[in-house]
Structure 1
Amino acid sequence: MAGARGLGLLLLLLLPTAGASVPGTVVRLNKEVLRYVSKMGKAPLQSALQVTVPHFLSQSGEVLQPNRIQILNVHVPHLHLDFIAGFGVRLLAATNFTFKVFRDPEPLELMLPVVLLADAHVTQGPIETPVISISSCYSFFGNTSMFDGGKSPSPAWLVLLRKHIKAVLMNKLCLSISNLVQGLNVHLGTLIGLNPVGPESQIRYSLISAPNITEDSISLDINAVLFLLGKPIVLPVSATRFALPEHVGTEGAMVTVGLSQDLFDSAFLLLQKAGALNLDITGQLDSEANPLNTSALGQLIPEVARQFPNPMPVVLKVRLGATPVATLQTNDATLQLQPFVEVLAAASNSAFQSLFTLDVVVNLSLKLSVSSMKLQGSTSMLGDVQLTVASSNMGFIDMDQAHVLMGTVFEKPLLDHLNALLGMGVALPNLVNLHYTTSEVSVYEGYIVVSSGLVYQSGGGTPGRAEGGPACSLGGPCTSSHSEN
């Protein structure tokens, strides 16, 4: 209720799209998100229940007198949502309808309380998105009451009027909610698409199976597929299905998102295949910040000084042939890079001459955070850069002497490049207009958990205004019951 778009708020994170198999992601929506929808969904529910009531025909002598009826206000003082284990969500809403009946000699205003009860089934749709339908929708009517003032109509006339209003509402309330659900499901279907990761790469999510629903949460197994130039990134070793353990994450979070080791492996494999981690580090003459030139090298490597009597710029061509290795352990995430570095010097004819090559090992601490619906990373050095000569055109190279220079000119540009790349982030599963708030990232062995609040913001609206709730059945009749005065 709160309009079906509020149930959408329940599912917002869970809406990915097509894909193959793992790497896996699990999105778990906790009871706190139901409380948020219950609070923020009242206004859209009130709007959805503003149905049109046809004229009431009353006998006036020998003619039927039409009396126009207008709903002045729908107030929802109470809206409550609960998970139904193995099924979906139950909605209970207390509403008060205020009517104005235009009759001679003067209008009449009355109030009718209605309790709405609906069970929403949440399952997997044919396009691998969550689908909501209602198995039942009931309307329970209380006693009507008139506002003071004016001449009261006859009791018989009032009985007929009440029956007319109840008969209309019995049909229209569940139908209007059903229309909201249909609109929500159409909206969920539009979520199939690609989220950019880089200029030539994307990520796409899809629901692997029907949601797992308990009394405390709804969990969705989500497949994440990374694409490079339209082709999926496939891990060389078959990944295993990821299961998010119970009771992980921050207590009181609305949503808990688990991201598996396999997803990290896929992301870094994509970066390696795209060449995004490669870079050229160019030295400058007379630069204290980057003393990467033949003069500085010549002081450590005699053959460089002999072949380049005049100072010339030196370039480090950094290439990653091996995929970076991310390691996730409890409260600790690290990243290891093993780039291959070719050291070249500008010759007098403007060509570049290869001086020597290095095998490099870099160990980094990896810090993760969430911003703008994306998981972002930053790195810092763990220990010294490890340098080993792979080949040399300059004879013997004593790396104990060259290590300080090479490490100095190599370390900062590499960190700047890597942090700029990881700072762009990867989009988390999300629904349009839904935002993560106060997110915390926890690292466990083999996976990470994002614990977050949620804020719904309609286009141009105010953050925190949620729209949503379950409704009447899709593709089936609504059932209603009522009690007479």
Structure 2
Amino acid sequence: MAGACSLGLLLLLLQAVVTVSLPVIVVRLNKAALDYVSDIGKAPLQRALQVTISDFMDPSGEVLQSTRFQPHRVQILDVHVPFFHLKFLAGFGVHLSAAANFTIKVFRVPEPMELVLPVDLTADVHVTRDSIGTLVLSVPTCSSVFSPAGMLEGNNSTSQELLDLVQEHIKADLNNKLCLHVYGLVQDLNVHLGTLIGLSPVGPESQIRYSMTSMPTITSNYISLNIRAILFLLGKPILLPLHDAHPFVLPWPSGDEGAMATVGLSQHLFDCALLMLQKAGSLNLDITGKLNSKNNPLNTSVLGQLIPEVAHLFPEPTPVVLKVQLGATPVVTLHTSNSTLHLQPFVEVFAAPSNLALQFLFSLDVMVNLDLQLSVSKAKLRGSTSMLGGFQLSVATSNVGSVDMDQVYTLISTVFQKPLLDHLNALLGMGIVLPSVLNLHYVHSEVLVREGYVVVSSGFSYQR
């Protein structure tokens, strides 16, 4: 018996692992993303190539007209990268090619010498996934090719012999250092890519964590990442079985192929997010009527005109409170160019006499369909809702006798609609963080709804 229970527990644990291991988001980084990285990467590459060159020593002491073996300081004054290009290597990663011009000064007697040394850099960057589910870059191959150096104006008196000696010294010194600094730049980038994983806040008591579920898929046009998203409430994961236990696959092509990124969001992500909101009680609200209010005439005097027993129990005007709870999990439906949100609130109606406990009047089962609009701001997916038809109301229980819904429908739906929409839109407007790294924002995003999933085509903006 104990063995059977242990086996059952193990199967449940394995099922939970399978449930959260399949991807619910697919992120494709397209060629435009590489172009953007190339553009913003020029400045970091220039800084990384500001290396230190060892002193130059003239073996004979004759060319530099100085004491034998006296060292002469060599300094890089400036590095300019006019060309920096990245392209995908199918099944491997990214190929880097760059051109850099080094302005170098040699301090010598009787006057310093300045020259410009062009260098072409190439490197292959391997893109993979580590054990904790984040992108990792490595550089298995890197090389530098030097072109002949040219003298700056005012150094025409320098002999070709001296220029050749200095150039050979600089090439020998830079040959390994440049690639070492490229390696260092990639390692810094790995630290930045590590911010993809980790907890990001969703609400006061909830978070979301992203990680990669498998090795990236790399073609000549894009790199595709399968992303697992786990929502947490009070530190506990929100788990739902994936539909048919199949991973979410984003069709190719999807969205705008010219965008930097194409992000596919599965139905499962929306289901988990709504379940989390329900479990947190975030979707519940109280709607309190006010006396002598035209905007919210929810009081026993108005209600008593429709339900005689209410007027009998409360001859003096008393505010009425609607306590709205979502017992059933909201359902989002994704059809091409159309997304809807279905709610089934349970509404309890109370009278609220001053200085007394709430007095139960009756309760309602409610069904409402809402149009769901999705948008992206910075790095968050946000939502807003509007009515799609009217409410369906039915009496669940009553403490005031028979309740004619034809009589109370207009009153209840009028005072219920605006607070409900305001509450939902405030929650959905907070949004959920999309997969991104630190300081990277989504810009010029377009959201398209497809059958069973959502596609976001977006650009990027990196801001320190």
What value does the CA root-mean-square deviation take over the aligned residues?
A: 1.7
Q: Deviations for 1:60-97, whole angstroms, at most 9, x for unmatched residues?
A: 26721212111122121111110001111001111111
Q: Alignment partner of 1:126: what SS? A: coil
The alpha carbon displacement at 1:312 in A equals 1.1
Q: Alignment partner for residue 305 of structure 1, among 295, 300, 311? A: 311
Name the residue aligned to 1:346: 352
Matched, 1:202 2:207: yes
Sequence identity of aligned pairs in percent? 65
> Please, which moves more after superposition, 331-340 or 105-114?
105-114
The alpha carbon displacement at 1:349 in A equals 6.5
Query: Is the Cα–Cα contact under 8 Å of residues 333 and 367 in structure 1 kept in the other structure?
Result: yes
Name the residue aligned to 2:30: 30
Name the residue aligned to 2:8: none
Matched, 1:320 2:321: no
The alpha carbon displacement at 1:236 in A equals 4.9
Letter in 2 for 1:30: N
> Please, which moves more after superposition, 314-323 or 345-354?
345-354
Query: Is the Cα–Cα contact under 8 Å of residues 74 and 96 in structure 1 kept in the other structure?
Result: yes
Name the residue aligned to 1:461: none
Query: Is the Cα–Cα contact under 8 Å of residues 20 and 239 in structure 2 kept in the other structure?
Result: no
Mapped partners of 1:209, 1:292: distance in 2? 55
Query: Is the Cα–Cα contact under 8 Å of residues 297 and 304 in structure 1 kept in the other structure?
Result: yes
Q: Alignment partner of 1:64: what SS? A: coil
Matched, 1:362 2:368: yes
Q: Alignment partner of 1:41: what SS? A: helix
Q: Structure 2 stretches of 5 or more lacking a match?
A: 1-18
Q: Deviations for 1:429-469, whole angstroms, at most 9, x for unmatched residues?
A: 111111111111111111111111111112xxxxxxxxxxx
Name the residue aligned to 1:471: none
Q: Deviations for 1:120-144, whole angstroms, at most 9, x for unmatched residues?
A: 0000012211000012001111112
Q: Alignment partner of 2:70: what SS? A: strand
Letter in 2 for 1:89: V
Name the residue aligned to 2:186: 181
Matched, 1:72 2:77: yes
Query: Is the Cα–Cα contact under 8 Å of residues 127 and 189 in structure 1 kept in the other structure?
Result: no
Letter in 1 for 2:61: S
Name the residue aligned to 1:103: 108
Q: Alignment partner for residue 221 of structure 1, among 221, 226, 231? A: 226
Letter in 2 for 1:32: A
> Please, which moves more after superposition, 244-253 or 125-134?
244-253
Q: Structure 1 stretches of 5 or more lacking a match?
A: 1-18, 459-485
Letter in 2 for 1:140: V
**Structure number with higher relative contact order (C-alpha < 8 Å, ≥ 6 residues apart):** 1
Q: Deviations for 1:332-379, whole angstroms, at most 9, x for unmatched residues?
A: 010000011111112476122211111000110001111131111110
Name the residue aligned to 2:88: 83
Query: Is the Cα–Cα contact under 8 Å of residues 78 and 95 in structure 1 kept in the other structure?
Result: yes
Query: Is the Cα–Cα contact under 8 Å of residues 23 and 266 in structure 1 kept in the other structure?
Result: no
Letter in 1 for 2:314: F
Letter in 1 for 2:337: N
Q: Deviations for 1:214-273, whole angstroms, at most 9, x for unmatched residues?
A: 111111110000000000000156653111111211242111111110000000000011
User: TM-score normalised to the size of structure 2?
Assistant: 0.91
Q: Alignment partner for residue 412 of structure 2, among 406, 409, 414? A: 406
> Please, which moves more after superposition, 40-49 or 210-219?
40-49
- CA gap of 1:321–1:145, structure 2 versus 1, over 3 A, is same
Letter in 1 for 2:101: N
Number of equivalences: 440
Q: Alignment partner for residue 443 of structure 2, among 420, 437, 444? A: 437
Matched, 1:334 2:340: yes
Query: Is the Cα–Cα contact under 8 Å of residues 50 and 79 in structure 2 kept in the other structure?
Result: yes
Name the residue aligned to 1:479: none
Answer 1 or 2: which has greater helix percent.
Answer: 2
Name the residue aligned to 1:466: none
- CA gap of 1:57–1:237, structure 2 versus 1, over 3 A, is closer
